[in-house]
Amino acid sequence: MAIREQLLDAVDGRRGADAADRLCEACVSLLDVDAAALSLVFDGASTGTLGSSGGIARALDELQFTVGEGPCLESVMTSAPVMVADLADPREQRWPVYGRAMLDLRIRGVFAMPVLVAGEYVGALDLFREAPGRLAEEQFAGAIAAAELAGIPVLDLLDADLNAAVNDPDSAAWAELNALSRAEVSQATGMLVAQLGVEPAEALLRLRAHSYTVGRSATEVARDILERRLRLE
């Protein structure tokens, strides 16, 4: 069975984040990568991880938001696949912070395929590999197919879940939408604006910098700020 058909089977009958997770898991099984994540991007910034092959993949994806650079953001910005066979290559300097962090996490290869929905690039399918090397031709074709299929759970989430959340206050869709958006980061940024007397961009920069320094995700640090376990100076 061709890779595209196997990817279709993986998401058959599923919706939203569940379909995205299954698609990412299938990418790991079929494309010779160690982790995969589907991230959404709005206005040049990563806004959420819709699906992942597991906790490690989600953390690798979140790191792009924490440091403000990475393959997903570049893929959406350029509307093209981003293929890095070896982050340890001395000539590879496009993401000085993210690249170094990925090498520390033993990730050598990263690949991002932009996801197109209704004529707009809204995110990317990110693939991570511990060993260096290019994707084989069949694997690259499979990654492109997976990115095309990724538009289905994105549309499903934005349409069905939003309608369900608005029409039914008790709907589980609220939890799914909240998990997708980095609501805690936005709220914590607002608190920092008030506490530090700085502009929102500066507040977000400080939150991200602290996250990177202590080796935690921006979302985790934001929760500490909101619950008043942490105060940045």
- CA-CA distance, 51 to 64, in Å (whole number)? 15
Please indicate, yes or no, if residue 163 is contained in any of the structural domains. no
36 and 143, same domain (yes or no): yes
pLDDT in tens, 120-162: 788 899 999 999 999 999 999 999 999 988 887 666 555 554 4
147 and 195, same domain (yes or no): no
80 and 39, same domain (yes or no): yes
Please indicate, yes or no, if residue 141 is contained in any of the structural domains. yes
List Cβ neighbours of 8 (8 Å cut-off, separation of 6 or more): 149
pLDDT in tens, 24-70: 999 999 999 999 999 888 666 666 788 899 999 999 998 888 888 99
Please indicate, yes or no, if residue 172 is contained in any of the structural domains. no
How many domains does the chain fold into?
Answer: 2
Q: For the full predicted model, state whether its pTM sits above 0.75.
A: no
- CATH number for the domain spanning 196: value is 1.10.10
- CA-CA distance, 215 to 57, in Å (whole number)? 16
**In contact, 110 and 87? CB cutoff 8 Å:** yes
Supply angle C-alpha 199, 204, 207, rounded to 5: 130
- CATH number for the domain spanning 102: value is 3.30.450.40
111 and 222, same domain (yes or no): no
**In contact, 206 and 232? CB cutoff 8 Å:** yes
Please indicate, yes or no, if residue 195 is contained in any of the structural domains. yes
Q: Quote the domain boundaries for residue 187.
A: 182-226
Q: In sequence order, what are the beta bridge partners of 127?
A: 36, 111
92 and 203, same domain (yes or no): no
30 and 132, same domain (yes or no): yes
190 and 84, same domain (yes or no): no
Per-position b or e across 166-203, b if 16+ CB within 10 A of its CB:
eeeeeeebeebbeebebebbeebbebbbeeeeeeeeeb
